[in-house]
Chains A and B, each alone.
Chain A
Amino acid sequence: MASTITYDQFEVYAKGFVALSDKVGDSWELRTTNSVPAVVYLVKTVTQVVETSDSKQRCSEYDSLVEEDLVEESDDATVQQDILQCHSSVRLEYHVVYSVSYEVPTLYLNASYTSGKSLAMNDIWKLIPSFYGPPTSAKWEILSQQDHPILNRPFYYIHPCHTATALSAVLSQPKDIPVIGATPESTNYILTWLSMFGPLVGLNLSLKYCNTIHSTAISK
């Protein structure tokens, strides 16, 4: 039995998840559209230093890395070259959006340099730990580009077709899914879902989330 949720359930869990995020000091935000009816989605922005192969970006990034005190300015050309070759400061945006067709949350992401230019596909893949790294042809089937269903511009996303069946293996009994109208703390669904799919794109949940769930469970 696949574990799908309605949009209304998604909205309840999303609001609850943001409350949890605030409690543990994570930075997830709830955004609401201006449309009628309004829909919500979740956003988290992270700045990270990652590997890059884009030489043009390296030059401009080096200056901003020095400014932010992330590297020491060096006159040594070899040192400069080493730094330039490896790392850049990148802004990662993660969005959790409800999929109407599959009735599950979907993870979208975009990555851009501080200049605003987007990361190339190959550099996005470098965000994925080698443990999860798929064979070359399969990568297109897991992560590819699509228009963000609300913002209507290109984002990378994880195909939701695997989500429902993958989740049903974890949430073995229907009662693991909180019913609608439950308290904001019962956010097992989005938390569980994110803990499964987030790591595929370098998004790891703080262990502090486990403590909040346990304490809520105990207090019930």
Chain B
Amino acid sequence: FKNGRQKLRMSEDDSVKKEVWDGKIPVCFTVDDRELSSSIKKTPEPCYMLVRRVTYFSMFYEKLEKLFAKETSAVVGDEMWLSSEEIPLKWHYPVGVLYDLYGNHLPWNITVHFKNFPEDELLHCQGSEPVKTYFVSKLKEADYLKHKLEVFKELTQEDTALLWHGFLQDQYSEFWGVNKKFMLNSRSVSEPFKSIPFCIYREGQPVFQKLIASVVAQSAAADNNKEADVQSQLQRKQTLEDLLRLYDSNLSFIQESGEHCPLVHVIHGIEVPLSVPLQWLSENMSYPDNFLHICIVPPKRN
């Protein structure tokens, strides 16, 4: 019976992982009409796409280029980039993060550009190599934080290929077949991560990162009734609140009016309760790069 209950809990967690993986946003891509070549008689049709939140826009650049480049004055050597209401979109931020920061309605209207690449704001991304390199470097960073790279070091070339291919081709089982290794330590035993991989995003600010342990020792309140070794084993699981307080100890920001407002945080578009343990969040609600990407957004105006 106990095993059955454990199995049920396991599959509830798995359904969270699957929902995170499957989350999609409807996007409407339109080419910048200032770039249309003069021979075009009418504006090209926009391209509607259901884009997975966990992916990067640069994974669709080739497709968008094929659709739109010929309608514009783009030439070989021009580099494509995207914007949402004049704001250039950083392709190395996951789609879900960009939507939570900048998306205002659905479908999300995104403009496709081929000219005037804003090199002061956007990383270059020519070909598929930069995305894959970036993704693998985030996986490495996450495993360095969790396991000092001990698990990543043991991966074979085939493992890395399966991770990338599974991620790229929307193959959940293929991806998690390898990704589950990152949830355990190098001896394949379940153990709290040394540090929780996370990034906090806020409009106009650099990405915020700090070290935070999964568990901390219970404050050693003197309790003469307990054995010393029992006390030292008391550990507290850190929560989302502990993490957000690293970012802002008051969990609030000051509006222009001078009013204090609570910070609004979202992960995959959801305001996750502050009491959720970081270990659980990290295992079940991370992006495929094994990072928790958290957005701080303005409170909704009523």
Contacts and interface: CB of A to CB of B under 8 A. Distances in A.
Interface of A: 2, 100-103, 117-118, 121, 140-141, 144-154, 159, 161
B144 A161 contact: yes
B171 interface: no
A101 B130 CA distance: 21
B144 A101 contact: yes
A198 B148 CA distance: 25
B129 A100 contact: no
A152 B209 contact: no
Given A101-B145, A141-B133, A144-B130, A149 B121 contact: no
B141 A151 contact: no
Contacts, number: 57
Contact of A118 (B119, B133, B144): B119
Given A100-B211, A140-B133, A141-B133, A152 B206 contact: yes
B90 interface: yes
A149 B206 contact: yes
27 contacts: A100-B209, A100-B211, A101-B144, A101-B145, A101-B209, A102-B141, A118-B119, A121-B124, A140-B129, A140-B130, A147-B90, A147-B92, A147-B123, A147-B206, A148-B206, A149-B209, A150-B206, A151-B206, A152-B206, A152-B207, A153-B120, A154-B120, A154-B122, A154-B124, A161-B140, A161-B144, A161-B149
A150 B209 CA distance: 11
A70 B233 CA distance: 70
Nearest to B140: A161
Given A100-B211, A102-B144, A147-B90, 14 more contacts: A2-B148, A101-B144, A101-B211, A121-B124, A144-B133, A144-B137, A147-B92, A149-B207, A150-B206, A153-B121, A154-B119, A154-B124, A161-B137, A161-B149
Contacts of A147: 90, 92, 123, 206-207
B39 interface: no
Name, among A145, A149, A159, the residue most crowded by chain B CB atoms within 10 Å (CB to CB): A145
A145 B123 contact: yes
B222 to A, nearest CB: 29
Contacts of A146: 92, 123
B119 A159 contact: no
B90 A161 contact: no
A135 to B, nearest CB: 14
Contacts of B134: 144
A161 B133 contact: no
B260 interface: no
A49 B248 CA distance: 46
Interface string B113-135: 00000011111100001100110
Interface in B145-160: 145, 148-149
Nearest to B149: A161
A159 B137 contact: yes
A146 to B, nearest CB: 7
**Interface of A (DSSP majority class):** loop
B206 A145 contact: no
Contacts of A2: 148
Nearest to B205: A152
B7 interface: no
A152 B92 CA distance: 13
B121 A145 contact: no
A154 B123 contact: yes
A2 B209 CA distance: 21
Contacts of B149: 161
Contacts of B140: 161
Contacts of A154: 119-124
B97 to A, nearest CB: 13
B214 to A, nearest CB: 15
Contacts of A101: 141, 144-145, 197, 209, 211
B210 interface: yes
Nearest to A137: B129
Considering the complex of A and B, which 6 residue pairs feature the smallest CB-CB distances, nearest first?
A152-B206, A145-B123, A140-B133, A100-B209, A154-B123, A118-B119
A94 B223 CA distance: 54
Contacts of B205: 152
A147 B205 CA distance: 11
B192 to A, nearest CB: 18
B207 A100 contact: no
Interface string B173-211: 000000000000000000000000100000001110111
